[in-house]
Amino acid sequence: MSFGTWLFTRLHGELVGSDEYGNKYFIDKRTKGQKRERRWVIYKGAPEASKVPPEWHGWLHSTAKEPPVQGSARQKWQKPHVPNLTGTDLAYRPPGHTLKGGHRAPASGDYEPWTPN
């Protein structure tokens, strides 16, 4: 977090809540209750937007008027939140990817590559 963000948060921010990952969510005291409130998040660790869980994402973008309840139970069908893993060692790599050996399964017997005449 930069000094400017820290100072703005100290002067104008009101803590609304935090999520299970340690991110803290704020609202601007000056715009609280107005039609267009100013809302933001201070990330714990590296600033990565995919670290925001869906329920807080809805609140940040004013889709939900009220912030999520702390410790509310998820539905049975909901999967736990996973940040974007692209560019990390845990990213999905399909079979045949160069970083996963580079050998793909042979194509089916009806595959015939195009060759110009």
**Residues 27/39, Cβ–Cβ less than 8 Å:** yes
Order across the sheet with 13-18: list the strands: 13-18, 24-28, 39-42
**The residue count for the chain:** 117
* Contact between residue 25 and residue 18 where contact means Cβ atoms under 8 Å apart: yes
pLDDT digits (tens, 9 = 90+) for 2-20: 888 889 889 999 999 998 8
Quick one: pLDDT at residue 25?
A: 94
Phi-psi region of 87 (alpha: psi -120 to 50; beta: other; left: phi over 0): left
Angle at the Cα of 69 (from 54 to 76), degrees rounded to 5?
Answer: 60
| Domain residue ranges in the chain | 1-71+78-105
> What's the whole-number mean pLDDT along residues 52-68?
86
List pLDDT tens digits, range 86-100: 888 888 888 778 777
How far, CA to CA in Å, does 98 sit from each of 73, 88, 109?
41, 15, 24
- More confident of the two residues 96 and 41: 41
pTM: 0.68
Averaged confidence pLDDT in the chain: 83
Both tokens assigned to 63: 């889709």
Which among 39, 19, 43 has a CA at the least distance from the CA of 29?
A: 39
Is the pLDDT score of 103 beyond 80?
A: no
